[in-house]
Structure 1
Amino acid sequence: MTTSKLKYTVPGMSEADAERVVDLLQSRLNAANDLHLTLKHVHWNVVGPHFIAVHEMLDPQVDAVRGFADDLAERIATLGGSPVGTPGRLVEARTWDEYSIGRATTQEHLGALDLVYHGVISEYRDGITELEELDPVTQDMFIAQTEQLELFHWFIRAHLEDKSGSLSTAGADTERGAAKKAASKRTSRKKG
């Protein structure tokens, strides 16, 4: 996935290892750029009775994830790579679908975001495992970012959880499916 051969890397790391680490970093850079834009999209398009709570919960997440992107890009440069942050290259390289929910209720967006966070965190954890031998410095970065992403995911899931700990999105495998399940669970709670 690297676009060009590295001219140098950090002391003690082979060029082949550095190229693989740069690939992992670029993958997470793409995910962080996509996630912070998605979170801002939700911030602008969320409606309903819990609008202000969700609207205000998302801005710190946007800021943190935007910071992750900067850290990832700077690590790529430190390893002798060239980070790519252009929209076209992001769309070309991503392995996930475009966020599919527009103007919708808080529960619908939170349901969809549950799946978004699940995917992002899963990829980070895969990277953490691979980086164990390749580069503990980058692994530390991934671990720290994963800790924050898991916290943000918990914030999202707290809105989707019932008192028994069950998630309204359980079993959903698409954003639209998760949004629908979250919205219908909320509606059924109101009726009961």
Structure 2
Amino acid sequence: MATVKSPLTEAAQKVTGDALQGALVDLIDLSLVAKQAHWNLTGRNFKVVHEHLDEVVDLARQGQDDVAERSVAIGVNPDGRSRTVADRTHLPQLEAGPLPDDKVVAAITDTLAQVIGRFRDRIAATDEPDPVTQDLLIGITAELEKQHWMFQAQI
């Protein structure tokens, strides 16, 4: 049970809480996928892609903190436990072992596109129940789209 009284109605809190929880899972797993790629990257474009992956990790980590804190602010307890993320993620997982830079760029581009699609759905879902959360999701989506553009340009 949350210890914070929600400024939202019960119905708005449910819709918004679900959107934030889905965003949290996406962002936690995005940071893990990008870090896995970062550690196992190989190829001619190693340095550029290696450093770019850290930008995605930083974005995802900041976003997950903002999303989790917004959840608490509306009276919903965020669940970022590893079991929850593993059970609820929709992100494709990378192969184990060395990862060629061209495959990483393609995989991260696709992964970002999937996350962005779900974020846009959450933006639509929170339009009426909580414009404050919607604004947060819009800001994160703008940064995800910037990263998507930058990775897509490398293909």
Give me the TM-score of the superposition, normalised by structure 2: 0.94
Name which one, 1 or 2, has greater alpha-carbon Rg. Answer: 1
Query: What RMSD over aligned residues (CA atoms) do the two structures have, in Å?
Result: 1.5
2:6 to 6, 9, 23: 9
- Size of the aligned set, in residue pairs, is 154
Structure having greater relative contact order (Cα 8 Å, sep ≥ 6): 2
Moved over 3 A (4+): 4-7
Q: 2:95 matched to which residue of 1?
A: 101
Q: What SS class does the counterpart of residue 22 from structure 1 fall into?
A: helix
Task: Report the CA distance between 1:19 and its aligned residue.
Answer: 1.6
Determine the C-alpha separation between the residues in 2 that align with 1:151 and 1:113. 13
1:40 to 30, 35, 38: 35
Percent identical pairs in the alignment equals 33
Task: Report the CA distance between 1:59 and its aligned residue.
Answer: 1.1
Q: 1:82 matched to which residue of 2?
A: 77
Task: Report the CA distance between 1:100 and its aligned residue.
Answer: 2.8
CA contact (8 A) 1:32 1:68 kept: yes
Give me the TM-score of the superposition, normalised by structure 1: 0.76
CA contact (8 A) 1:6 1:15 kept: no
2:118 to 117, 120, 123: 123
Determine the C-alpha separation between the residues in 2 that align with 1:107 and 1:53. 12
CA contact (8 A) 1:68 1:145 kept: yes
Task: Report the CA distance between 1:58 and its aligned residue.
Answer: 1.4
1:27 to 22, 27, 48: 22
Name the CA shift for 1:36/1:14 in 2 (closer, same or farther; >3 Å): same
Return 5+ residue gaps in structure 2 as ranges: none
2:135 to 128, 134, 140: 140
Q: 1:149 matched to which residue of 2?
A: 144
Return 5+ residue gaps in structure 1 as ranges: 161-192
Determine the C-alpha separation between the residues in 1 that align with 2:2 and 2:144. 31
CA contact (8 A) 2:4 2:72 kept: no
Determine the C-alpha separation between the residues in 2 that align with 1:63 and 1:92. 23
Task: Report the CA distance between 1:93 and its aligned residue.
Answer: 2.0
